[in-house]
């Protein structure tokens, strides 16, 4: 496979999967990859949900080797129309297209996505209806020992559709965790002259931080092989050696109910993107989306317009509640102390004053302790100042 295409594909996981499916085939015939082959295509990420909010759609283009990142498609006209003629206009906003007004996908309505790019190409989806509503009943966390992953916390999503009509599910989550710098000190070492340092009061707001990260995998589940539409899905596993659960941890899970076509599309994308090699024998010969370019039939449209019911729930847990009387997991980084003899010129052991000042200027070290005014023991800055890699702003939803 052309190395240019290989590099392009790895720039965006969703684009990887979608672009491969398009490059491998067109709607009617097999598309053979050739050296130096590149085709521009519009990548469409569009899911509207039953949640009353301003809905979002993302448009981008497949990227060339020489491009830096993924190119956002700007200047497009984007709208969604239902079968009663109600029109929802989307406006460009910071790299996304956001609906002018909040709305939600309603039962018994059929929605169609329309896009007109600035170069005049017109794209349209098939008509889609919202899927069955199925609320998350509970999210649980328990300590388990997995044969592959080892010991850790298994987080599961539980829901139940008595009508047995939901069946296909997709999950996203945001996890937020509390960080406490293990070598925070009430004093910090400050440069006050070319060859002069001084201990000064440290900022107490650099000790505790909170980091939030979103899932970036395609997480799918189905109950088609069960007698009941009852979900007991392991959405997240965290090793007991992972520092993110050292103190207090929260996860916010969204459950999207999909139809069969959407589930199949994303399942295929997941299989492609998780393959160890793009030359894997798992590559499909053909992948259907539900969006087409109706003005230029030879133009590739990559994506699936999804109309989903959605449910969400958040839980918290503390490490000490799940692992009582156990040592905390290893910290974010190793906090090995390093000694600096603060002097200049010749000495045995060697003077390291210039090195210390240089690394303080680079914000690479933080103070641990000292012996008199000559020997300072320092650790990586992350060990004493969590704001060097996280945020000390307490999230609005956080509870202790």
Residue 9: pLDDT above 70? Answer: no
pLDDT value at position 371? 93
pLDDT value at position 66? 61
Give 264-280 pLDDT, tens digit per residue.
999 998 988 775 444 43
**113/41 Cα distance (integer angstroms):** 17
pLDDT value at position 7? 40
Give 92-124 pLDDT, tens digit per residue.
998 899 999 999 999 999 999 999 999 999 999
Per-residue confidence at 300, pLDDT binned at 50, 70, 90?
confident
Strands 375-380 and 77-82, bridge-based pairing: unpaired
Residue 26: pLDDT above 90? Answer: no
pLDDT value at position 364? 97
Per-residue confidence at 90, pLDDT binned at 50, 70, 90?
very high
Residue 281: pLDDT above 60? Answer: no
pLDDT value at position 6? 35
pLDDT value at position 128? 98
**3/5 Cα distance (integer angstroms):** 5
**7-11, 188-192, 258-262, 348-352: least confident range:** 7-11
Token pair for 73: 């498609």
- More confident of the two residues 47 and 272: 47
Residue 56: pLDDT above 50? Answer: yes
List phi, psi (to 5°) of 278.
-70, -10
DSSP 207-218: SEEEEEEE--S-
pLDDT value at position 287? 62
pLDDT value at position 373? 85
Q: Where are the domains of the chain?
A: 3-130+259-305, 136-180+211-255+317-322, 187-206+332-388
Which residue, 216, 156, 252, 299, is CA-closest to 12? 216
Give 134-191 pLDDT, tens digit per residue.
999 999 999 999 899 999 999 999 999 999 999 999 999 999 999 999 999 999 999 9
pLDDT value at position 37? 59
**195/357 Cα distance (integer angstroms):** 8
Q: Of all helices (H) and strands (E), which one includes residue 392?
A: none
**36-40, 43-47, 229-233: least confident range:** 36-40
Q: Which CATH architecture has domain 136-180+211-255+317-322?
A: Sandwich (2.60)
Cα–Cα distances in Å, from 39 out to 26, 184, 356? 12, 53, 53
What is the rounded average pLDDT of the residues 302-320?
97
pLDDT value at position 38? 63
Give 336-390 pLDDT, tens digit per residue.
999 999 999 888 889 999 999 999 999 999 999 999 888 999 999 999 999 999 9
Coil, helix or strand at residue 273: helix
């Amino acid at each position: 496979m052309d190395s240019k295409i290989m590099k392009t594909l790895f720039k965006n996981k969703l684009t990887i999967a979608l672009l491969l499916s398009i490059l491998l085939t067109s709607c009617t015939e097999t598309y053979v990859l050739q050296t130096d082959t590149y085709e521009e295509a519009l990548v469409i990420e569009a899911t509207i949900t039953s949640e009353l909010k301003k809905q979002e759609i993302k448009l981008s283009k497949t990227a060339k080797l020489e491009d830096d990142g993924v190119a956002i498609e700007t200047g497009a006209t984007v709208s969604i129309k239902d079968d009663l003629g109600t029109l929802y206009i989307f406006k460009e906003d910071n790299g996304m297209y956001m609906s002018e007004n909040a709305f939600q996908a309603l039962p018994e309505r059929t929605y169609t996505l329309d896009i007109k790019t600035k170069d005049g190409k017109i794209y349209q989806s098939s008509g889609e209806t919202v899927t069955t509503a199925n609320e998350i009943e509970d999210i649980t966390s328990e300590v388990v020992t997995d044969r592959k992953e080892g010991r850790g916390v298994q987080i599961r999503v539980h829901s139940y559709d008595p009508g047995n009509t939901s069946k296909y599910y997709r999950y996203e989550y945001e996890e937020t965790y509390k960080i406490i710098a293990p070598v925070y000190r009430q004093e910090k070492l400050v440069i006050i002259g070319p060859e002069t340092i001084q201990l000064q009061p440290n900022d107490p707001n650099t000790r505790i931080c909170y980091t939030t990260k979103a899932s970036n995998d395609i997480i799918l589940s189905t109950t088609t092989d069960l007698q009941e539409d009852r979900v007991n899905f392991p959405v997240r596993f965290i090793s007991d050696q992972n520092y993110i659960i050292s103190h207090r941890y929260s996860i916010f899970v969204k459950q999207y109910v999909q139809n069969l076509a959407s589930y199949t599309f994303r399942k295929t994308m997941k299989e492609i993107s998780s393959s160890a090699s793009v030359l894997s024998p798992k590559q499909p010969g053909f992948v259907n989306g539900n969006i087409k370019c109706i003005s230029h039939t030879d133009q590739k449209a990559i994506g699936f317009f999804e109309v989903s019911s959605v449910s969400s729930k958040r839980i918290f847990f503390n490490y000490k509640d799940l692992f009582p009387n156990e040592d905390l997991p290893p910290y974010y980084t190793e906090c090995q102390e390093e000694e600096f003899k603060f002097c200049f010129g010749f000495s045995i052991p060697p003077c390291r004053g210039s090195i210390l000042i240089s690394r303080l200027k680079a914000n690479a070290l933080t103070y641990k302790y000292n012996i008199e005014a000559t020997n300072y023991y320092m650790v990586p800055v992350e060990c004493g100042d969590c704001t060097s890699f996280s945020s000390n702003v307490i999230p609005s939803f956080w509870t202790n």
